[in-house]
Amino acid sequence: MSPETPALLAVILVALVFAYTNGFQDAANSLATSVSTRALGPRAAVIMAASMNMLGAFLGEGVARTIGQNIIAPPEGTDGLTVLFAALVGAIVWNVATWYKGMPSSASHALVGGMIGAALASCSTVEWSGVAARFVLPMLLSPLIGGVGGLVVMLAIMWLFRRANPRRAGRQFKLAQSVSAAAMAVGNGLQDAQKTMGVVVLALVTTGYQASYDVPMWVVVAAAVAMSLGTLTGGWRIMRTLGRRVFHLDPPTGFAAESTVAVVSYATSFIWQVPISSTHTITSAIIGVGATRRLSAVRWGVAGNIVVVWLLTLPGTAAIAALTYGLVKAVTL
């Protein structure tokens, strides 16, 4: 057995732990709107989201390639595995801390921040052009598109159903929301499970176990299962923040927000093959649909706190990852 094999297995295990934390962090994205509007019961929503997350993981690998090829170039061998290990630890710590506080946070930002922090600490190459084009730009644009899209879709719904019986329309949108929630959960799995796959493939390439950035089926299955198990544990703290504290959702607004995020997720995964934050996008979409009622309907103080967490995610995870890399190197020397 190669001396790198235990370190590689450790990185793969930690990557699956990250996928698990990603699942319970981002479970709220798929569940908050449909549970808060009572379109789905909590148990049914969790099972549906976990199943659709797993389905989404099998539908593509473009985002995985982007994470594997366009963010950092760690050194070959054990030192490269140490970089990836530190990056994953930084992301996991951030995911757990923000979940404990009940604040939505981007697992995508956490992972990329961790990768950049660990790379800088190890003097590895950061692909800054790839980071700018394939990460920063999509991460900035997707919340804006989510907010504007949610606003436009909700305005269209209000116009189309302006003469509808409110009670009957509410029942219809509860049914429609089951479909939009499932579509959003597929998009969430399509996006977020691939980020774990990308790190595992990068670890395999770094150690020479694999020459290409193609994603082996066992990696897809492992990431899908780990994320789905995380989703099954819920994410109730964050769900309350998204479903109730930003804006009090009802079935039409929930449908508008979920449909918007599903479209953005599919477009960025299949067409542009870039990672986005489903957390940022659904939060912005909720704010967009809430603004159609009146601006005061949105609890801007809560939204502001969420934005602060977003801004802190990249530097916070980078710092944790850099510290982890330094500690690991000090212990192993």
pLDDT digits (tens, 9 = 90+) for 212-247: 999 999 999 999 999 999 888 866 656 655 555 555
| Angstrom distance (rounded) from CA 13 to CA 8 | 9
Give pLDDT, residue 244: 55
Give pLDDT, residue 235: 63
Q: Predicted confidence band at 207 (pLDDT cuts at 50, 70, 90)?
A: very high
SS3 assignment for 59-93? CCCHHHHHHHHCCEECCCCHHHHHHHHHHHHHHHH
Q: Predicted confidence band at 333 (pLDDT cuts at 50, 70, 90)?
A: confident
From residue 169, how far is each of 45, 129, 149, 172, 199 by CA, in Å? 21, 48, 21, 5, 45
> What does the pLDDT average to over 256-264?
94
Higher pLDDT, 156 or 246: 156
Q: Predicted confidence band at 29 (pLDDT cuts at 50, 70, 90)?
A: low
Give pLDDT, residue 8: 96
Q: What is the mean pLDDT of the chain?
A: 89
Beta strands in the chain (DSSP E): 72-73, 125-126
Give pLDDT, residue 206: 94
pLDDT at 313 over 60: yes
Higher pLDDT, 248 or 242: 248
Give pLDDT, residue 247: 58
As a whole-number percent, the residues of the chain with pLDDT over 90 amount to 65
Token output for 153: 């879709």
In whole angstroms, what separates CA 281 from the centre of its chain?
10
Residues in the chain: 333
Give per-residue pLDDT as tens, 167-195: 899 889 989 998 998 999 999 999 999 99
Helix (H, G, I), strand (E, B) or coil at 208: coil
Dihedral angle sign, alpha carbons of residues 263, 40, 27, 196: negative
Give pLDDT, residue 34: 78
Least confident range of 53-57, 100-104, 152-156, 255-259: 100-104
Give pLDDT, residue 104: 81
As a whole-number percent, the residues of the chain with pLDDT over 70 amount to 91
> What does the pLDDT average to over 96-106?
85
Q: Where are the domains of the chain?
A: 5-326
pLDDT at 28 over 70: no
Give pLDDT, residue 136: 93
Token output for 269: 């995964």
Radius of gyration (C-alpha) of the chain in whole angstroms:
20
Q: What is the dihedral of CA 266, 228, 305, 119, to 10 degrees?
A: -80
